[in-house]
Amino acid sequence: MNPLNIKMPKEKKVSYVINIFGVLAIFLLLVLVFESNFLGGRTTYIKGICTTACYTIIMVASLNLLTGFMGEFSLGHAGFMSVGAYSSAIVTNALIGSGIPNFFLFLIALIIGGFAAALTGIAVGIPALRLRGDYLAIVTVAFAEIIRVAFCNFEVTGNGKTMSGIARLSNFYWVFWVMVVCVTIMYMFVRSRFGRTVKAIREDYIAAAASGINVTFYKVLTFTISAFFAGVGGAIYAHYMTAMIPTNFNFMYSAEFLTQVIIGGSGSLTGSIIGATFLSALPEAMRQFSQYRMLAYSIVLVLVMIFRPGGIFGTYEFSLTRILKKLLAKIKQHKSDDKEKHS
């Protein structure tokens, strides 16, 4: 009776299907490359870079929720990552050998890592999000430093020494799908009333409050979600590296994530994916320049900022559906042009 009783618009359904196929295609391509031994002895090395790229994508995309969509700088994202990494490592160390299959153990690790970081996010967010801009950035730096120093002194986290012997539960294929799920959830969040509200707060928080939005609530919510995914990224890190030291998660690591967000385009999740992949692979691809590679890395960053000040993607989202549509339209036009010529 109600014409608005729509389940899902058809074009959305088509677009989802197209994207699922796109992701599958990328996955199958990577599987083919790795399994066919096409790269020979370098397979493990390249696989390693891809795994790093996957958890970096999660980290960068989650930071983009704060920086790009909420418009607040956080320089302590590695802090949340270390909370996720250590909490999940402690839990899996306790659970290993209890007969739980590796896959479920890995899932448990991800969930523990995510929730531990999310709880920390709430605890930090409620007082810190009263601040804005530079002041908030400083508080997040302070938070990450506190976490680092605390983990250097706790016994469960290795007393400042390397925590090693964490079970290697992750492999590239699992990590790839975890990344896909995480990015999808973030994308759905951004393209919903929640994401809209967060963007409105970025644009003008006074007007947002005057439109009936509980600004503090949505800020803390976004901060928590961002921290959750940082924790998931940390859990992958721990179970991929199998050894870690709190000083890995230092200020420079946080700054690196922020760089990747900005290079990819703050406000674009697909930009984050490109930025994270690009900047994870870049230092490795430049190994041939040996000691000059960090110099080359910096030059690339400067060039991107000169030619694309808004990042590679800006706030634009890459859309497979849109490209396919354009292609189809072009083919159609081509055909009709041909017909005109013939007639």
Partner 1 sequence: MSEVKKPVLEVKHLGITFGGLKAVDDFCLEIGESELVGLIGPNGAGKTTVFNLLTGVYQPTEGTYYLNGLKMNGKRTHQVVRSGIARTFQNIRLFKKMTVLENVIVAMNMHMSYSLFASVFRSKKFWREEAEIEKRARELLEIVHLEDKADYIAENLPYGQQRRLEIARALATGMKLLLLDEPAAGMNPTETAELLDIIHVIRKKFQISVLLIEHDMSLVMKVCERIQVIDYGITIAHGTAEEIANHPEVIRAYLGKEESEDLYADN
Contact indicator for 309, 302 with CB cutoff of 8 Å: no
Q: Residue 24 or 207: which CB sits closer to partner 1?
A: 207
Cβ–Cβ contacts within 10 Å for residue 197, how many? 21
Q: Diameter of the chain by CA atoms?
A: 83
Our finding on whether 215 is near partner 1 (CB under 8 A) is yes
What DSSP line would sit under 91-146, residue for residue? HHHHHTTSS--HHHHHHHHHHHHHHHHHHHHHHHHHHHTTS-HHHHHHHHHHHHHH
Comparison of 23 and 33: residue with beta carbon closer to partner 1: 23
Distance from C-alpha of 253 to C-alpha of 56, rounded to nearest angstrom: 11
β-sheet bridge partners, residue 244: 163
The interface with partner 1 within residues 302-341 (CB under 8 A) comprises: 315
Confirm or reject binding of residue 199 to partner 1 (CB under 8 A): yes
Considering only residues 18, 111, 213, 324, which one is a binding residue for partner 1 as defined by CB under 8 A?
213
Of 31-39, 201-209, 282-290, 322-330, which segment contacts partner 1 by CB under 8 A? 201-209
b/e code 225-250 from CB counts within 10 Å (16+ = b): bbbbbbbbbbbbbbbbbeebbbebbb
Nearest residue to 159 (alpha-carbon basis) of 149, 167, 174: 149
Q: Closest Cα partner for 82 from 144, 142, 136?
A: 144
- Rule CB under 8 A: say whether 23 interacts with partner 1: no
Residue from the set 44, 162, 164, 192 that interacts with partner 1 by CB under 8 A: 192
> Given the complex with partner 1, which of 1 and 8 has the nearer CB atom?
8
Q: Which of 206, 252, 288, 306 binds partner 1 (CB under 8 A)?
A: 206
**In this structure, what DSSP letter does residue 249 have?**
G
- Closest CB 192 distance from partner 1, rounded Å: 3
* Mask for 162-191, x = binds partner 1 (CB under 8 A): -----------------------x--xx--
Query: Does residue 210 belong to the site contacting partner 1 (CB under 8 A)?
Result: yes
Q: Does 8 bind partner 1 (CB under 8 A)?
A: yes
Decide: is 7 part of the binding site for partner 1 (CB under 8 A): yes
Tell me how many residues contact partner 1 (CB under 8 A).
29
* List of residues contacting partner 1 (CB under 8 A): 4-9, 185, 188-189, 192-194, 196-197, 199-200, 203-204, 206-215, 315
